[in-house]
Amino acid sequence: MAFNHVALATRDLPGTHRFYTEAMGFPLVHVEGAATDAPPGWLRHAFYDTGDGSLLAFMELHDERFADFDVAISRGLGLPTWVNHLAFDAADDGALDDALERWLTCGHDAVRMEHTHGRSIYTEDPNGNTIEWSCITTPFSPEERACALARLRQPDLPCDAPTDLEFFTAGAHESARDRRRSRPPRCH
């Protein structure tokens, strides 16, 4: 069953809107206002279509009870930012490369990681939440599915997942793009 929507808090709705429309490519489909449970508090609720009809929503609170809070899910819990994260499906390696290019062009640093069943790229949204595009290239085998429960319960699970990371900085990407633009065209 697909998600209807996931809702997160934001303290910077304009920055969040730019990130999710420009860097992620998700169209804004609806915005509504609502009262909170303590008048005169209110909220703005913005919905973005993630591409398959599932929605990602952000709530911007205007309520004096909540003036000082950290909207980053993991950081607010005292965890590394990558623990709680949102992962979106990239159809293939080309889509993953396109998403990486879009992030870098929009000024967001990124990390690429190979996984057992594919690869992913990661960045942070303006709220400090880790965002992932993931491309599954090798489906989960019947054997893996059959032993998943045993591995879930295994007290001495081996650390067998790949952990190699490749880092991309938006500044280096911009500098390289500027150098390519300033070169005269090559003649063959």
Share of the chain above pLDDT 70, in %: 93
In whole angstroms, what is the distance from residue 97 CA to residue 93 CA?
Answer: 6
| Banded model confidence at residue 178, pLDDT cuts 50, 70, 90 | low
Whole-number pLDDT of residue 174: 75
Segment 73-130, tens digit of pLDDT: 999 999 999 999 999 999 999 999 999 999 999 999 999 999 999 999 999 999 999 9
Phi, psi of 3 (to 5 degrees): -70, 145
Using the predicted structure, report yes or no on whether residue 30 has a pLDDT greater than 50.
yes
| Banded model confidence at residue 182, pLDDT cuts 50, 70, 90 | low
| Banded model confidence at residue 3, pLDDT cuts 50, 70, 90 | confident
Q: pTM of the predicted model, to two decimals?
A: 0.88
Provide the total of helices (H) and of strands (E) in the chain, helices listed first. Answer: 5, 9
Using the predicted structure, report yes or no on whether residue 33 has a pLDDT greater than 90.
yes
Whole-number pLDDT of residue 188: 36
Are 62 and 68 in contact by the 8 Å Cβ rule? The answer is no
Using the predicted structure, report yes or no on whether residue 175 has a pLDDT greater than 90.
no
Using the predicted structure, report yes or no on whether residue 183 has a pLDDT greater than 70.
no
Using the predicted structure, report yes or no on whether residue 152 has a pLDDT greater than 60.
yes
**Sign of torsion, CA 135 140 144 149?**
positive
CB atoms within 10 A of CB 165: 10
- For range 160-167, the mean pLDDT: 92
Whole-number pLDDT of residue 17: 98
Are 56 and 47 in contact by the 8 Å Cβ rule? The answer is yes
